Amino acid sequence: MTANHGGERTGEQAGALASVRGPGGGPTASSLPALEVLDGDETVLAVAAGVVHAVVGARSATRRFVDALAGAAGGRRRRRTAEVVRIEGKVVTLASRAASSAAGIAVVTGGQAISWTQDVGDNVLLGNEHGSRGDGFSAAVRAALRLGRSGGEARGTDRDRVVRALATVGLTTEPTTAVAELTTLERRLVELARAVAAGAAVVIVDEPGAGLCAPEREHWQAALRAVAATPRLTGTAPVVLLVTGTVTGLAAVASAVTLLGTGSGANGPRTLPVSDAADERRVLDALAAGLGSAAALRGTDRASDSGRSCPDRDARPAERASGLVVERWHASHPADATRTVVDGLSFACAPGEVLGLFGPLDSGAGEVLLSLFGRSYGAMVSGTVAIDGQTVDLSTMDRARDAGLLYTTEHPIRYDLAFLGGVPSSVSPTSLTRMVSTGLADGRRAYPATTGASGLAAVLPGAHRGPTAEQFTESLRSLLDTPARVVLLAEPFGDRRGADAAERVDLIRAIAASGRAVVVAGDDPSALVEVSDRVIAVRHGRAVGETRPDRDARGHRDAVLAVLDAMGGLA
């Protein structure tokens, strides 16, 4: 029996994620956790079969966690991830995707790993076909659907697996339906059904940024619960790990939450139950405790502010006008004008103010800034912008600069496009939009955003690699000498530790104190609290909450908690 990490067939797209095989043998003793993750002598995770268990943390921490279990880390030494993993009591080696696959781990990417050239049945069996030569659902099962039981035992087996898997996740779509006709939720369910059909022992659901409406989310949560409750052929149910940044609403789907990369081990329980809204609040408290304590590690706590040379917040020049006003701003995904990323977002930032936009990649927080600067993000962009009371044209980068608006980031948004000679390549949002419009790229694909460098940058001399940390810090210094009236900064905090991060915080404050409106987008609430006068939480392209950090009165930790409360978590 096989499982699949997702992706296209090898013959259709080089570098496709490998198919995987579930562990053999029968169920283990019920007294043993179905999944254990250990780091030395410390138990990071211990989960029983048949439950949905949430894993919550900053995206960098959860990304490392998922990559380690999926075997994506390869032979590299893993930092802050498990050294030992046990599945049903057996130690497994996860040095590669194939090894992870052999252990029975399936990663569900939320509908991103879909083969658009195949139908629903093909996708459910992707990499798991019983038919010969990998002919899959098209050759083996479609005939059985037409001819009934005359299709043969192997074909019937594949057909039954597809039907059972789709029923488990609550998807009534016919297996012969083209995936291009499916909604976002339905594509998620197809990928989840793939893990069910494979009989995976551990199903890792890497929660994507794209949002679902309330009825869709209820259906998705019900599907996760159903998968966890449905026994596999071995007789045991799988473990479902929901890797997410959202805390509010987790009680409806998960039984417990494990916190990653937030200092939670030193400040409280690493794993907390979630049975109601009160439990969710305790999870937010634990997150704030860990993230709030990170300021001291960076050496940027409030106690050290008095010794800095940056202008004081209360000594700003008098406001000369209204600053930046953005109204009803919309931006679509670069590859698909119908897929909204920034959804009617409105906000204002006065001269001398630092406004924080809190949200991870794909939340709309960083994307709105890039779309404002010369419409450098989105196949469709609309809305109005005023600077110092005058409506401005920001339709090109040159016009944005002429209007007094500048944008910079250390980590540009990129989109993985293809594999050229075995090397992964990626393109900017504007390049992706252009390639889709000219037919060079398929606009139906998900194209999840990344801030990682293009794989080509490592092998091609002169390829664009983005600014180094030193270059980006220097660019912040240079902003003080420009005529810009509005400065947009995306993820400007570097590695968020040490003198470099502290200097950047000082520079951002100095830019604002010189009379400019400064908008900072980031996914670290602790860093945003250090630098911002106001923080707006952005989820699914909408403002879902706003807070004014009051560090002096309540302390850094409580200010971080207020931001997390506004968002309902980290995403």
Higher per-residue pLDDT: 304 or 427: 427
Residue 162 has a pLDDT of 93
In the block, which residue shows the tokens 């109204």?
327
Higher per-residue pLDDT: 552 or 234: 234
Burial of 60 (0-12, 13-18, 19+ CB in 10 A): middle
Quickly state the pLDDT bin for 316 (edges 50, 70, 90): very low
H/E element, 546: strand 542-547
C-alpha span between 565 and 285 (Å, rounded): 9
**pTM summary value:** 0.80
User: Among the ranges 11-15, 86-90, 325-329, which has the highest mean pLDDT value?
Assistant: 325-329
Residue 210 has a pLDDT of 60
* Average of per-residue pLDDT across 53-61: 88
Residue 8 has a pLDDT of 36
In this structure, are strands 449-450 and 414-420 parallel, antiparallel, or unpaired? antiparallel
Residue 441 has a pLDDT of 84
Quickly state the pLDDT bin for 55 (edges 50, 70, 90): very high
Residue 321 has a pLDDT of 52
pLDDT in tens, 485-527: 999 999 998 765 555 778 889 999 999 999 999 999 999 998 8
Residue 12 has a pLDDT of 31
For residues 500 and 171, the answer to whether their CB atoms sit within 8 Å is no
Least confident window among 130-139, 250-259, 298-307: 298-307
Quickly state the pLDDT bin for 157 (edges 50, 70, 90): confident
C-alpha span between 245 and 222 (Å, rounded): 19
Residue 371 has a pLDDT of 96
Percentage of residues of the chain with pLDDT beyond 70: 75
Residue 308 has a pLDDT of 35
Residue 421 has a pLDDT of 55
Burial of 377 (0-12, 13-18, 19+ CB in 10 A): buried
Domains of the chain listed by start with CATH number: 2-118+202-293 (3.40.50.300), 303-311+320-410+467-567 (3.40.50.300), 412-465 (no CATH)
* Average of per-residue pLDDT across 134-140: 46
Residue 212 has a pLDDT of 80
- CA 424 vs. chain centroid, Å, equals 20
Residue 107 has a pLDDT of 92
Mean pLDDT, the chain, whole residue set? 79
Is the Cα torsion angle 524, 526, 527, 532 positive or negative in sign?
positive
Give the CA count within 13 Å in the CB-facing half-sphere of 436.
23
Instruction: Using the predicted structure, report yes or no on whether residue 331 has a pLDDT greater than 90.
Output: yes
Closest by CA position to 537, among listed 362, 366, 360, 358: 358
Instruction: Using the predicted structure, report yes or no on whether residue 374 has a pLDDT greater than 90.
Output: yes
Q: Give the number of residues written for the chain.
A: 571
Phi, psi of 335 (to 5 degrees): -95, -10
Instruction: Using the predicted structure, report yes or no on whether residue 101 has a pLDDT greater than 90.
Output: no
